[in-house]
């Protein structure tokens, strides 16, 4: 069958099955089977078994369940309460006050969880009631949480960077390094916007609490030390060459268990819940990866990726024009799919044309994650929006309107990363030289 006829058929099958509510993993397998049946002479069953087994026995994937488990343990611990108590005195003098706790708290928790939804839920269940009770503007309180919760995708140890690295055979350690500076830049942009908004709307920001005595401030700062220590143990061990990402994930789990047991927020029942939740999440991601690996092979048989890359090449798009088109494409796709599904569904088709345009695959991984972060706060399928809806009871579209300025800042961060690629590539290059 000719590609011009085959491609529309497969698109209809893909979006038809997604619209039916079928699990994404099943959808990817079904589209792969349809592609094999219509265009490939090879036996679909044998290809499926071989490729799925090969994709699930990649050593780098062993870090995935451990980081997920670490996040589940910390989600059920007292870490969020300690972070709020520790960050509140440090932000009281900044214009915007406790609104910055959303930004700094999400940045800290993202550095020990790797999950956007877990970051939003953990920080939000502590900050939303506190900010509401103190009279902060709900638009900024909820919007800053929705935007900052996306840090879980970018700041290492990021689960989605592990998925991208595994799917593209890129170094996960290099991807983690590349995500640090963009993550800090994004946190600075969010915090800067809160400062600017607060200076322009002084009447909508409560007066800061009275200054605490030095002893109380030191005690509050001490509450942050366990989190900072866990971040250093996990991320520092990778950057210093002491541990691989998988070994660092094990260190993180042990550290999370120690923190949870020290805080007294995790009993045996809660511990069992962390295992169940981590198993369910890991199986979901693994199922999507298995379906995507089979679809990748099936698409290779059809010749669609090669034809698409050739078509893009004939258009003569500059790298900037290509990235602008991909940004719009991913934003639209993010309105209907979650971040991990977007990555595994598109990367095998898009990466060859990106590399043909001379774009570094490590840099593109950070670019992709930044764009996919936007999908977390775009209706109708925005996971952060669902999490915050559960915390506040507000409608998805109202929360999305609150998050709109931070969506704009994500677009700005993507533009800055595109114009100045060293933002992502400087740290990996520096560490490699050393």
Over the chain (434 residues), the average pLDDT of each successive run of 10 is 76 82 81 83 80 74 81 76 79 86 89 79 83 89 92 86 87 90 95 94 79 74 83 82 83 87 76 88 80 78 70 75 87 75 79 85 94 82 80 87 94 94 91 67
What DSSP designation does 380 have? S
3-class secondary-structure state, position 358: coil
Alpha-carbon gap, residue 121 to 101, rounded angstroms: 14
Element (H, E) at 26: helix 24-39
Residue whose C-alpha is closest to residue 282's, from 383, 381, 159, 107:
159
Supply the pLDDT for residue 381. Answer: 64
Half-sphere exposure of 229 (CA within 13 A, CB side): 12
* Cα–Cα distance for residue pair 97/201, rounded to 1 Å: 13
Q: How far apart are CA 396 and CA 335, in angstroms?
A: 12
Q: Which of 114, 131, 113 is nearest to 76 (CA)?
A: 113
Task: Taking each helix axis as running N to C, give the angle between helix 268-302 and helix 159-168, from 0 to 180 degrees, rounded to the nearest 10.
Answer: 30
pLDDT of residue 300: 73
DSSP string, 164-177: HHHHHT--HHHHHH
Identify the pLDDT of residue 406.
95
pTM here? 0.79
Asked if 14 and 299 count as a contact pair (C-beta separation under 8 A), the reply is no
In angstroms, rounded to a whole number, what is the distance separating the alpha carbons of residues 311 and 315? 6
* Segments in 303-421 forming alpha helices (H): 304-315, 319-334, 339-356, 361-375, 383-392, 396-419
Q: Cα dist. 302→88, 211, 316 in Å?
A: 56, 67, 24
pLDDT at 235: 80
> Cβ–Cβ contacts within 10 Å for residue 45, how many?
10
| DSSP output for 108-126 | HHHHHH--HHHHHHHHHHH
Residue 303 phi/psi, 5-degree rounding, is 85, 5
Per-residue pLDDT at 271: 86
Q: Can you tell me the distance from the alpha carbon of 10 to that of 33, in angstroms, rounded to the nearest whole number?
A: 10
Q: Which residue has the tokens 């700041």?
A: 155
The tokens of 275 are what? 């295992």
Structure tokens at 109: 């928790």
3-class SS of residue 75: helix
């Amino acid at each position: 069958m000719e590609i011009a006829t085959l491609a529309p058929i497969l698109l209809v099958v893909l979006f038809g099955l997604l619209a039916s509510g079928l699990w994404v993993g099943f959808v990817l397998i079904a589209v792969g089977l349809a592609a094999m049946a219509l265009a490939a002479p090879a036996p679909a069953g044998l290809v499926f078994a071989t490729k799925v087994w090969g994709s699930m026995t990649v050593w780098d994937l062993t870090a995935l369940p451990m980081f997920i488990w670490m996040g589940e343990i910390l989600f059920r611990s007292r870490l969020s309460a300690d972070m709020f108590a520790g960050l509140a005195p440090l932000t009281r003098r900044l214009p915007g006050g406790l609104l910055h706790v959303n930004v700094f708290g999400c940045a800290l928790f993202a550095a020990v969880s790797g999950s956007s939804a877990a970051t939003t839920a953990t920080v939000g269940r502590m900050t939303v009631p506190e900010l509401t009770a103190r009279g902060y503007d709900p638009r900024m309180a909820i919007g800053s949480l929705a935007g900052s919760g996306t840090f879980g995708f970018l700041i290492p140890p990021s689960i989605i960077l592990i998925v991208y690295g595994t799917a593209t055979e890129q170094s996960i350690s290099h991807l983690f390094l590349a995500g640090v500076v963009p993550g800090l830049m994004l946190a600075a942009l969010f915090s800067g916007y809160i400062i600017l908004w607060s200076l322009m709307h002084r009447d909508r920001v409560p007066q800061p609490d009275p200054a605490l005595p030095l002893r109380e401030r030191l005690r509050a700062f001490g509450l942050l030390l366990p989190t900072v220590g866990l971040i250093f143990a996990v991320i520092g061990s990778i950057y210093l060459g002491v541990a691989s990402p998988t070994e660092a994930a094990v260190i993180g789990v042990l550290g999370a268990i120690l923190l949870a047991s020290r805080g007294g927020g995790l009993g045996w029942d809660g511990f069992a819940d962390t295992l169940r939740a981590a198993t369910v999440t890991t199986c979901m991601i693994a199922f999507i990866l298995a379906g995507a690996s089979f679809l990748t092979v099936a698409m290779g048989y059809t010749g669609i990726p090669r034809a698409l890359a050739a078509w893009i090449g004939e258009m003569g798009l500059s790298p900037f024009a290509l990235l602008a088109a991909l940004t719009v494409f991913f934003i639209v796709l993010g309105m209907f799919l979650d971040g991990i599904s977007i990555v595994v569904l598109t990367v095998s088709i898009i990466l060859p044309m990106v590399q043909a345009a001379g774009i570094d695959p490590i840099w593109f991984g950070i670019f992709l994650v930044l764009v996919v972060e936007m999908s977390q706060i775009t209706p109708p399928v925005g996971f952060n929006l669902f999490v915050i809806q559960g915390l506040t009871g507000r409608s998805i579209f109202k929360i999305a309107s609150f998050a709109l300025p931070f969506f704009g800042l994500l677009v700005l961060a993507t533009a800055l990363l595109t114009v100045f690629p060293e933002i992502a590539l400087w740290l990996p290059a520096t560490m490699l030289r050393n």
